[in-house]
Amino acid sequence: MNVRTVATEPFTDQKPGTSGLRKKVAVFQAPTYLENFVQAVFDTVGVPAGATLALGGDGRYLNREAIQVILRMAAANGFGRVLVGQGGILSTPAASCVIRKYGTHGGLILSASHNPGGPEGDFGIKYNTANGGPAPEKVTDAIFARSKALTSYRILDAADIDLDRPGVQRIGEMVVEVIDPVADYAELMESLFDFAAIRELIAGGFGVCFDAMHAVTGPYAKEIIERRLGAPAGTVINGVPLPDFGAGHPDPNLTYAHELVEKMYDLDAPDLGAASDGDGDRNMILGRGFFVTPSDSLAVIAANARLAPGYAKGIAGIARSMPTSAAADRVARKLGVPCFETPTGWKFFGNLMDAGKVTLCGEESFGTGSDHLREKDGLWAVLFWLNILAKRRQSVEQVVQDHWAVFGRNVYSRHDYENLPTDVANAIIGQVRAACATLPGQAFGNYTVKFCDDFAYTDPIDGSVSTGQGLRIVFTDGSRIVFRLSGTGTEGATLRLYLEAFDVDPARQRGDAQLLLEDLILIADQISGLKAKSGRERPTVIT
């Protein structure tokens, strides 16, 4: 077998975002595009002789072909061993689990998360470091710099390996071990939660519906929820991973998980509904006719953490992304633990967890997790809810309403305006930024602006600084409006508007969030000119 050094031209658009490099499938299929980025990663992180790499993805279109290329490049770049999920499958949380359990040098995860798949869809790749978490900004910046200077990549001439055959194979001198993609992760979950109590709950008639959205969590949910916890066959719907996610959009929200939502608002709805996304790191929680916002989900999990065996000793602290509601902050204050506000992106939680500062983390974009891994973890969140429900023996809605009665309700919503022309999105952000200097002290009906800023973050562990993380308009009563451009799309721009108002009045707490936030919605449009500039009367997605 021969190692070839292939001359190439650098690309200028391979800057990793909050979760790696995401582009249209056709972009990754262009000659040398994938190879250049992988070589830039290997050159940047350094490969100790004989090092081990974890490798897998969410099964989307191009997943298998990309894995074969990466295996041959790993062999040519000095790796001694690669652990690859059977069929090329590893959910993002499971990849983090494998990296941490086996002490690999890091891992490459092939996914575009909740973005659509298929030949016309999206593809992505990201590097996770040896702690199991996404590469921090200093690493992704170095990868980007290297990608712009690259003149060649190294690859071994070799035949494809059989990704469906468990066990050891070889590419040159490198060992390739095809591993069960579910086993290590399921074992970890069983160590954290009271499976006996959950089995008893389900055996007593508690109904569950888990929508895997034809994405990666299907095999994980079938093994854990149906086989280990005893839920009836068919509890997991859309459970077979497909390269195009069944022509669906694997984003677990009220718009795209419509099949689950319809089930949960039927008269004969099960007790708990849940969904996860393309690569398994996001989650949505529903009760009968009741939606739990991700912000509330984080707060409820934190307030009830001791009910799960893996968290019985309590939590060290909580971290949330800046756009996420302050509901978790109120729980942290009651528990007497710190709550950190970070930029959006799970990599910002890694340092805090590694330093023992926080146990639980969450983002309003349907991501929740803990220090058991260094990634958000969709199925973990569902199991945590099942553990809470098994111990409290209440409905999902009652658990949340009891939480509001104790802590008050942070009425919260996110409005996504997807696929806006980039110049339009920038113009809206520009108008808000220009207004920031004059907004403090201005009154808008019952709301008075306390301050307006562009959120910046100084990492308390390594001192690194991240700026330009979202425009915040904060009112004197603690209510907030936040404008932010998302970095997860591959075409146009997604503008996200976040709205939050705190309410302690029990008579109002059960009201519809959109009605309770009506005044803030109007104020946001008044300040930004969003409707006029975008030509949109409604957001694409409301959560």
pLDDT digits (tens, 9 = 90+) for 183-200: 999 999 999 999 999 999
The b/e string for 464-481 (b: 16+ C-beta within 10 A; e otherwise) is: eebeebbbbbbbeeebbb
Calpha distance 297→314 (Å, rounded) = 17
**CA-based Rg of the chain, rounded to a whole angstrom?**
23
With a cut of 90, say whether residue 417 has pLDDT above it: yes
pLDDT reported for residue 491: 64
The overall pTM is greater than 0.75: yes
CB atoms within 10 A of CB 258: 13
Nearest to 329 by CA among 283, 296, 354: 296
End-to-end CA distance of the chain: 53
- Does residue 496 carry a pLDDT above 60? yes
Give the mean pLDDT of 268-291: 96
pLDDT tens digits, 309-355 = 999 999 999 999 999 999 999 999 999 999 999 998 888 898 999 99
Residue 489 has pLDDT above 70, yes or no: no
pLDDT class for 490, splitting at 50, 70, 90? low
Report the 10 Å Cβ neighbour count for 35: 21
Calculate mean pLDDT across residues 31-36. 97
Higher pLDDT, 255 or 310: 310
How far apart, in whole angstroms, are the C-alpha atoms of residue 224 and residue 91? Answer: 14
**Of 367, 228, 239, 391, which is closest to residue 306 (Cα–Cα)?**
391
Distance of alpha carbon 56 from alpha carbon 61, whole angstroms? 13
Rounded-to-integer distance, Cα 373 and Cα 369, Å: 8
- Mean pLDDT on 6-30: 93
Q: What confidence tier does 488 reach under pLDDT thresholds 50, 70, 90?
A: low
Give the whole-number percent of the chain exceeding pLDDT 70: 99
HSE on the CB side for 262, CA within 13 Å? Answer: 4
For residue 435, give both structure tokens.
């207004």
Residue 276 bears catalytic tag: no
Do 128 and 374 contact (CB within 8 A), yes or no?
A: yes
How far apart CA 64 and CA 28 sit, in angstroms, is: 13
Question: Does residue 533 carry a pLDDT above 80?
Answer: yes
Express each pLDDT in 431-485 by its tens digit. 999 999 999 999 999 999 999 999 999 999 989 888 889 999 999 998 999 999 9
Per-residue pLDDT at 523 exceeds 90 = yes
Nearest to 277 by CA among 367, 185, 370: 367
Choose, from 96, 113, 325, 528, the residue flagged as catalytic.
Answer: 113
Label residue 17 by pLDDT band (50, 70, 90): confident
CB 278 within 8 A of CB 215: yes
Task: Using the predicted structure, report yes or no on whether residue 541 has a pLDDT greater than 90.
Answer: no
- Outline where DSSP puts E strands in 364-442: 367-370, 409-420
Q: Which domains does the chain have, with CATH numbers?
A: 3-180 (3.40.120.10), 185-407 (3.40.120.10), 409-542 (3.30.310.50)
Mean pLDDT of 115-133: 95
Q: How many residues does the chain have?
A: 543
* Cβ–Cβ under 8 Å, residues 385 and 189: no
Scan for tokens 């980039």, then name that residue: 422
| Mean pLDDT, residues 187-216 taken together | 98
Residue closest to 332 by CA, chosen among 356, 301, 311: 301
Mean pLDDT estimate for the chain = 94
Residue 22 pLDDT > 70, yes or no? yes
Task: Give the ranges where 88-210 is alpha helix by DSSP (H).
Answer: 92-102, 137-147, 183-192, 195-203
CA–CA separation, 57 and 76 (whole Å): 21
In this prediction, residues 508-519 reach a mean pLDDT of 86
Tell which residue, 55, 60, 151, 72, has the closest CA to residue 106.
55
Q: Give pLDDT, residue 277.
A: 95
In angstroms, the CA 51 to CA 59 distance is: 25
pLDDT score recorded for residue 60: 96
- Which of these, 252, 400, 376, 373, lies nearest to 321 by C-alpha position? 376
**Vertex 134 angle, CA 500 and 348, to 5°:** 40
Instruction: Judge contact between 374 and 96, C-beta under 8 A.
Output: yes
pLDDT over 60 (residue 387): yes
Question: Quick one: pLDDT band at residue 65, thresholds 50, 70, 90?
Answer: very high
